Structure 1
Amino acid sequence: MDGSGVEGTPASTGADGAGAAGRRRTFGIEEELLLVDPGSGEAVPVAGALLDLYVRPMESRNGPVLTAEFQQEMIEVVTPPHSTLAALEADIIAGRAIAHQAAEDIGVRVAALATSPLPADPHPVQLRRFKAMTEEYGLTAREQLTCGCHIHVSVESAEEGVAVLDRIRNWLPVLIALSANSPFWHGEDTGYASYRSQVWNRWPSAGPLEILRTPEAYYQLVQDMVGTGVALDEGMIYFDARLSRHYPTVELRLADVCLRPENTVLLAGIARGLVETGARGWREGIEPTVVPAALLRLAGWKASRWGLRGELLDPVTSRPVPALAVVNALMNHIRKALEDIGDLGRVEELMDDLLNAGTGATRQLEVLHRTGDLEDVVRDAADCTARIPAEGG
């Protein structure tokens, strides 16, 4: 979750386990969605009213659910764990449909926007913990109306989980570029493809990890961070990727919520490929690539600034190269795992689609340039979230 530190009920392990013995790792998604006025496009604080009326559909008892988030202007859609990309894709689409209907029932809309294009004055959910966060972190908490996409992928143990964290860390900035969907902030074009990343990294506990090698080192770091009093509790350990506190999963947390559900599916496929590749490397005794966290932070900034429009930092050398070269390197890195899992064809198809259509940030900017109106940007995003075809398309 992007501000709460409260985890939903996504992918744990499930019957198919974690993949070391030829089984597919399970994975699940948490998508945060903005609640907007259908007329003005402004974010509206109605999550409480929506969830009070929301009744989980009978046919979806084992499917996606809606939950509250840090701000009342947003809700979260949480899928259960799945072992196949097709099943997860179906639940991502179903979850958005449920959210769309629940919003319509109270006269608002949901939009898969990582930040509000229009000025917003967020209202935290009235829980004691959230009040404490607002008091402690001031403007950082008050302005934290950002919607992310979090991906859980199962691991067999904390030892395997930390080994995976050590081996995927240098590839994670690419996910910011692929998911970029937040070019606007308080009514202004920020010049960033993912300005949400900039806002999110105001939290003192956010960002990349150094290589840790053992669960003991990981948990000691978490304990030390909480011990400083700067992070209020373990729920506020906002690493780019972390071990879940409640499930046997690695949780990747740095992506924007994607405008199109197909892009979310792509991220999930890549995430599972990265985790499987990292776990295999660990079992084979392949050392993690040593890139200092300070350079990974720069790689994340560059991905946030440009998305796929310019250069990114090479995940191995940390030197600027064309974004497409980094995307190709990522696909080559996880190709064998994707092939073995059975996801390669679908992930390649989804990647080609994203590269041809552009990210959510690209679409938002195109709508603004065409209409000159940020309200139209929000309207288009809500239509896209509800899978309503664009006019003439």
Structure 2
Amino acid sequence: MRSVGVEEELLLVDPDSGEPRAVAGTVLALEDLARGDDPELEKELQREQLETATRPTKDMTDLAAEVRRRRATAVERAGAVGAAVAALATSPLPVDPSLSAGRRYRRVAEEFGLTAQEQLTCGCHVHVSVESDEEGVAVLDRIRPWLAPLLALSANSPFWQGHDSGYSSYRSQVWGRWPSAGPVEVFGGPERYHAHVRQLLDTRTLLDKGMIYFDARLSRNYPTVEIRVSDVCLDPDDTVLVAALARGLVDTAARDWRAGRPPEPVSVGLLRLASWRASRSGVADGLVHPLEWTPAPAETVVRALVEHVRDALADSGDLALVEESLARLLARGGGADLQRAALARTGELRSVVEEAVERTAS
């Protein structure tokens, strides 16, 4: 069974006003004192956010516990400096982000201007183990049509700079400003994948391999496929749902490759359009069906995703968990829907953040 690990980016906020707070450096100093060479929290581009990372595991129950434990660590460390943590993919309240210290981040700011300065977004990255680069690229080629439904399930960023953006995942719109972000072509093998990465780096537009921001890529540091399309989820159960589906996609793609079934030759333009639709709609409206490439209700599309990976989910023991988690998500709405419902009840974006803080801490 393939191992899975999850990285979550979390927002640091003032517990009273709900406004983002640039205290990551202080929080991470406490983490360094507590954990030394094995920290559970890491810095990100902006000082208003932290990143957590679980250990690799093959069991989704263990993954759920790891996600909750990492969030609890972030809550504890932030609380020690008078801040709170919210699993929100963008800040509902206005913010002027503060770039993290370091030479690389300064270079990012100099090269990319407002794209870097405004980039206070929190994503969720799922790592799924693969046996080789050959298997990994075969997987990347075959999961492309199914990444937009994963984005729809995770959509948790309707607000931007104090306004409703009109999108369920505005994070993905902001993230798409990076020159290497988004869907990619079919590569056909690791040689072409690595050649493509080299060509991007040879333009000297990207600073390094860390800026290969494809929706899914081979990890630089681990023998994994890294699926990067998702918002950080408000509910940790949704994080586990996304992770289980991601492993199902990798398993299914690897089996198709071994059976000699070719990837779908879907254009990057069509994939980008489907991703835009998922960003706009989340699970509250229609999506683009990744088999028929026609409009379909969100529930139809995400259930088609489950059907696509059903055999893999059954073999890993994740099928019941996925079906139950998906039913809960569709019944209550995704993160974006919960945020908008909080605003409708209270009329205050501060209350949206407060509720997110409570959910993250609990």
User: 1:56, CA displacement in angstroms?
Assistant: 7.7
**Which aligned pairs between 1:274-293 and structure 2 lie closer than 5 A?**
274-293=249-268
Corresponding residue of 2:49: 74
Give the alignment partner of residue 223 of structure 2, picking from 245, 248, 258.
248
Between the aligned partners of 1:226 and 1:194, the Cα distance in structure 2 is: 29
Between the aligned partners of 1:147 and 1:153, the Cα distance in structure 2 is: 20
Q: 1:237 to 1:52 in 2, by over 3 A?
A: same
Corresponding residue of 1:296: 271
Q: Deviations over 1:105-130 (max 9, x none)?
A: 11100000000000111111111011
**Which aligned pairs between 1:218-229 and structure 2 lie closer than 5 A?**
218-229=193-204
Q: Flag structure 2 segments of 5+ consecutive residues without an equivalent.
A: none
Between the aligned partners of 1:96 and 1:368, the Cα distance in structure 2 is: 24
Q: Deviations over 1:137-170 (max 9, x none)?
A: 0000000000000000000000000000001011
Between the aligned partners of 1:51 and 1:111, the Cα distance in structure 2 is: 17
Corresponding residue of 1:258: 233
1:37 maps to amino acid: D
- How many residues are paired up? 362
Between the aligned partners of 2:16 and 2:180, the Cα distance in structure 1 is: 37
Give the alignment partner of residue 206 of structure 1, picking from 175, 181, 190.
181
Corresponding residue of 1:16: none
Corresponding residue of 2:205: 230
User: 1:324, CA displacement in angstroms?
Assistant: 1.1
User: Is contact 1:33–1:147 with CA below 8 Å preserved after alignment?
Assistant: yes
2:138 maps to 1:163: yes
User: 1:316, CA displacement in angstroms?
Assistant: 2.1
Give the alignment partner of residue 323 of structure 1, picking from 270, 289, 298.
298
User: Is contact 2:284–2:333 with CA below 8 Å preserved after alignment?
Assistant: no
The two structures have a TM-score, normalised by structure 1, of 0.90
User: Is contact 2:176–2:182 with CA below 8 Å preserved after alignment?
Assistant: yes
Give the alignment partner of residue 88 of structure 1, picking from 57, 63, 82.
63
Between the aligned partners of 1:31 and 1:246, the Cα distance in structure 2 is: 17
Give the alignment partner of residue 179 of structure 1, picking from 154, 177, 190.
154
Q: Secondary structure, in 3 states, of the residue corresponding to 2:51?
A: strand
Between the aligned partners of 1:218 and 1:136, the Cα distance in structure 2 is: 25
User: 1:323, CA displacement in angstroms?
Assistant: 1.0
User: Is contact 2:46–2:100 with CA below 8 Å preserved after alignment?
Assistant: yes
Between the aligned partners of 2:231 and 2:44, the Cα distance in structure 1 is: 15
Q: Deviations over 1:269-328 (max 9, x none)?
A: 000000000000000111111210110000000000011111111112321111111111
Give the alignment partner of residue 325 of structure 2, picking from 350, 355, 363.
350
Between the aligned partners of 1:57 and 1:277, the Cα distance in structure 2 is: 41
Between the aligned partners of 1:128 and 1:231, the Cα distance in structure 2 is: 15
1:36 maps to amino acid: V
Corresponding residue of 1:34: 11
Q: Secondary structure, in 3 states, of the residue corresponding to 2:309?
A: helix
The two structures have a TM-score, normalised by structure 2, of 0.98
2:16 maps to amino acid: G
User: Is contact 2:31–2:40 with CA below 8 Å preserved after alignment?
Assistant: no
Between the aligned partners of 2:128 and 2:239, the Cα distance in structure 1 is: 14
User: Is contact 1:100–1:386 with CA below 8 Å preserved after alignment?
Assistant: yes
2:92 maps to 1:117: yes
Give identity over the alignment, percent.
56
User: Is contact 1:34–1:116 with CA below 8 Å preserved after alignment?
Assistant: yes
